[in-house]
Amino acid sequence: MSADTSSDDCEDTREAIMKATYRALRDNGTADLTIQNIADEFEKSKSLLYYHYETKDDLLVEFLGWLIDRNAEFLDSDDVETTVEFVEAMIPPEVDEERAGFRAAFVQMRAEAASDPDYREQFTLYDRLFRETLVELIERDIEAGRLRAVDVDALADVLLSTIDGAMLRYATTDDDVMPTTREGVDRLLASLRGDE
């Protein structure tokens, strides 16, 4: 009987704060991700951030979860049934401005994990989840005869590393590395199809 879809000011505001944080991160980078910069992207006041979150760290922890969830959505929205579709969802052919900003934000948060244990834990879970998903897809492809029998773990790790690497390179260089990388992965997977 609880009103789930009612106008929940609190949740709406928190969601708006997440979006503001996202914009501030995307445009300014982690180095300048200040409470003030977040507030500037937010329609309401800086003080309100402290009404909804204890500290800046609190806010950022929640934001990291939010960002990771958003990334996972790229897999659900398209229904991904095969390894090729997984790759296609993560290294899409078309240039998408919004997604470019998203990758910039994601990469910067992820790099923090190199020195922050809490972040690292989150990204470890994220990495395992994606890896497991990929392993299942590969196994299903092999069973269905869409893929030659291969070392599933090794292939999953290569694909995941390639996807993450393409994202890193895309976010941190001026060259568009996505199309060529994608073509290479396609050829690689094609060569692994059932033509023993």
Note the residues at the interface with DNA (CB under 7 A). 9-10, 13, 32-36, 43-48, 50-52, 54-57
Q: Which does 47 bind (CB under 5 to 8 A by kind): a second copy, DNA, none?
A: DNA
Binding mask 1-40 for a second copy (x = CB under 8 A): -------------------------xxxxxxx--------
Q: Output 20 or 26, the one with its CB closest to a second copy.
A: 26
Backbone angles phi, psi at 111, to 5 degrees: -60, -30
Distance, in Å, from the CA atom of 156 to the CA atom of 27, rounded to the nearest integer, reads: 33
Q: Is 173 in the site for a second copy (CB under 8 A)?
A: yes
Q: Is 111 in the site for a second copy (CB under 8 A)?
A: yes
DSSP notation for the chain? ---SSS--HHHHHHHHHHHHHHHHHHHH-GGG--HHHHHHTSSS-HHHHHHH-SSHHHHHHHHHHHHHHHHHHHHHHTT--SHHHHHHHHS-SS--HHHHHHHHHHHHHHHHTTT-HHHHHHHHHHHHHHHHHHHHHHHHHHHTTSS----HHHHHHHHHHHHHHHHHHHHHSSS--HHHHHHHHHHHHHHTSS--
- Minimum CB separation of residue 108 from a second copy in Å reads 5
Q: Output 13 or 28, the one with its CB closest to a second copy.
A: 28
Q: Output 34 or 161, the one with its CB closest to DNA.
A: 34
Q: Which does 151 bind (CB under 5 to 8 A by kind): a second copy, DNA, none?
A: a second copy
Q: Which of 180, 190, 193, 194 binds a second copy (CB under 8 A)?
A: 180
Q: Would you tell me which residues interact with a second copy (CB under 8 A)?
A: 26-32, 103-105, 107-108, 110-116, 119-121, 123-124, 127-128, 150-151, 153-155, 157-158, 160-169, 171-175, 177, 180-181, 183-185, 187-188, 191-192
